[in-house]
Amino acid sequence: MGLHPRGNFEGFPAPPAPSRKWLEVHGDTHFTLFYAKYGHDLQKKFLDHFLKGLDNGLGQAAQGAAEHPASRREIRAARRKTNGRWARTQWTKLYLHPDRELDQAPPTDPATLTYETSSDGVTFSTEAMAEDLEITGPVAVKLYVSSDTTDADLFLVLRLFDPKGKEVTFIGSNDPRVPVGLGWLRASHRKLDPKETKPYRPYHSHDELWPLKPGEPVELDIEILPTSNHGAEGLSPGALGARQGL
């Protein structure tokens, strides 16, 4: 949550190829498993292999050995936790609708929604889930936004709600009650790096300021940091869109 996993998620797939890299993603606080016996044993195994040259199975793990897979993630859930390898990616698009719904079908008519910056912003929600849903991996949001000012800070929150409309939260690295995911962007920094940007990962160059013209809509691509969550049947994931300040 926040900035804690940024370097890990960026470094794992980056060159050199991840043939001798391992990515461990866990829930709870950022220090709990690190100092637990599990974390201690894992670090010792890593150091024994690379500093002492011990053949303890770690060297073959990234090549497919089941003993210690190259990546491991924990799926956060209100009702259960599951560990496993990253797999089975199914990229899914959801569209913002003027009735404040999130749906896989695009809207048919254009519309504009407005809100005060001192309010809670605008919330778009799906219908209650008819079956279990897992949200794992990176999330990206495309918005068209205008403001009465020359700049704006946009904050996006991906959230999970129970059937009574109460938000389901999780233990984060530095907060015991965090949502599914967070993203943010200052509108004047919306310039993208075309070489690094991917559909699921907008990459901003931060090398040029593009001020807003009051009342003129602009296109914003905002990253919500990678997450892994299990939404059980009856729960409803929703995204709290664009509460802006400045």
Spatial separation of the C-alpha atoms in residues 132 and 229, rounded to whole Å: 11
Spatial separation of the C-alpha atoms in residues 153 and 76, rounded to whole Å: 28
The helix or strand, by DSSP H or E, that contains position 52, with its residue range, turns out to be helix 37-52
Q: Return the beta strands (E) in 44-149 as ranges.
A: 71-77, 82-84, 95-96, 102-103, 122-125, 133-145
Which domains are present in the chain?
Answer: 6-74 (no CATH), 95-108+115-245 (2.60.120.260)
- What is the residue-level pLDDT of the chain in tens, covering all 246 positions? 556 677 888 887 777 765 677 777 776 777 788 889 988 998 898 899 889 988 887 765 444 444 666 666 666 665 444 444 445 678 889 999 999 998 899 999 889 999 888 888 899 998 888 777 778 888 999 999 999 999 999 999 999 888 888 888 887 777 788 888 889 999 999 999 999 999 889 999 999 999 999 999 999 999 998 888 776 545 565 554 444 443
Spatial separation of the C-alpha atoms in residues 56 and 19, rounded to whole Å: 17
Closest Cα partner for 222 from 175, 174, 187? 187
Predicted TM-score of the model (pTM): 0.79
